[in-house]
Amino acid sequence: MKKLISAQEAAAMVKDGMTIMVGGFLAVGSADKILEEIAKGPAKNLTVICNDAAYPERGSGRLIAAGKVKKMILSHMGTNPLAVAGFNEKTLEVEFSPQGTLAERVRAGGAGLGGVLTPTGIGTVVEEGKQKITIDGKEYLLEKPLHADIALLGANIADEAGNLIYKGTTQNFNPMMATAADLVIAEAQEIVKTGAIAPEQVHTPALFVDYLVKA
């Protein structure tokens, strides 16, 4: 059985200055219980990689509201007024990455690739400071891979071995983030016996999961 820990124990693994990945979309598919404990804990100056800034009271937005975040790497943050204020007041560093590009950068980090080439962002502020590569007469941006110290996943079902299932939009970013961090903690709404999940239903194999938290 994969080691079952509490949300408090999971949060205690997050230390000052770490980079963490948070799966999900607008807090759907996020490890909300763990994030709540991190927000209450001592860790600060975090770099958070996620699709969005969620809401002040949910998802990665909890960490912004608690003043724990130094930098966000995301595709949008308009649903969180605290994130917008931090960006405008320059108290929160923000790196915007188009959603598809962000997903590919995380995937590249998990696959050990040196980066991805994309035309998305050419001619916009997204290209600032990035290397351009021309292939067959067409320009591409070189987008570098993303990697984290810890990935926090939100699963619907886990078995005791750590195999995970995500339902609906909770699949956003979780499967690829499971491959792109040194330590992976999955918060599951339901934990079943090993063997209860058919192999073809598994979205994240147990191989990638270090710890389980019961939501």
Look at strands 46-50 and 3-4 and give their pairing.
unpaired
pLDDT of residue 95: 95
Predicted confidence (pLDDT) at residue 125 exceeds the cutoff of 80: yes
CATH number, domain with residue 46 = 3.40.1080.10
What's the confidence (pLDDT) of residue 1?
Answer: 62
Contact 78, 88 (CB under 8 A): no
- What is the predicted pLDDT for the residue at 149? 98
Per residue in 52-97, pLDDT tens? 999 999 999 999 999 999 999 999 999 999 999 999 999 999 999 9
Q: How many domains does the chain have?
A: 1
Residue 153 lies in a domain: yes
Averaged pLDDT for residues 94-102: 95
Structural domain harbouring 8: 3-115+145-214
For residue 189, being part of any structural domain is answered with yes
Report pLDDT for 30. 96
What is the reported pLDDT for 140?
97
Q: Cα–Cα distance between 105 and 92 in angstroms, integer?
A: 22
Each residue's pLDDT tens digit, 130-159: 999 999 999 999 999 999 999 999 999 999
Q: What is the pTM of this model?
A: 0.94
pLDDT of residue 126: 87
- Of 102-106, 128-132, 175-179, 202-206, minimum mean pLDDT range: 128-132
- pLDDT grade, residue 166 (50/70/90)? very high
Asked if residue 77 is part of any domain, the answer here is yes
pLDDT tens for each residue of 25-44: 999 999 999 999 999 999 99
Q: Is residue 132, in this structure, part of any structural domain at all? A: no
Distance, in Å, from the CA atom of 53 to the CA atom of 74, rounded to the nearest integer, reads 7
Q: Look at residue 203 and tell me if it is in a domain.
A: yes
Tell me if 56 is assigned to some domain: yes
At 54, is the secondary structure helix, strand, or coil? coil
State whether residue 104 is helix, strand or coil: helix
Cβ partners under 8 Å of residue 188, min gap 6: 155, 156, 157, 158, 164, 212, 213, 214, 215
- Give a yes or no: residue 126 inside a domain: no
Residue holding tokens 């996620």? 50
Q: Phi, psi at residue 77, to the nearest 5°? A: -145, 15
CB 161 within 8 A of CB 2: yes
Stretch 96-123: mean pLDDT? 96
- Note whether residue 134 is domain-resident: no
Could you give the CA distance from residue 68 to residue 152 in angstroms, rounded to a whole number? 16
**Residues whose CB is less than 8 angstroms from the CB of residue 158 and which lie 6 or more positions away in sequence, other chains included:** 2, 164, 165, 186, 188, 190, 191, 192, 209, 212
**Given a cut of 90, is residue 115 above it in pLDDT?**
yes
- Chain mean pLDDT for the chain: 96
Q: What percent of the chain has pLDDT over 70?
A: 100
Q: How confident is the model at residue 2 (pLDDT cuts 50, 70, 90)?
A: confident
- Sequence-distant (6+) residues with CB within 8 A of 53 are 60, 61, 64, 72, 74, 76, 77, 79, 80, 82, 83
Has residue 174 got a pLDDT over 80? yes
CB contact set of 190 (below 8 Å; sequence gap of 6+) = 156, 157, 158
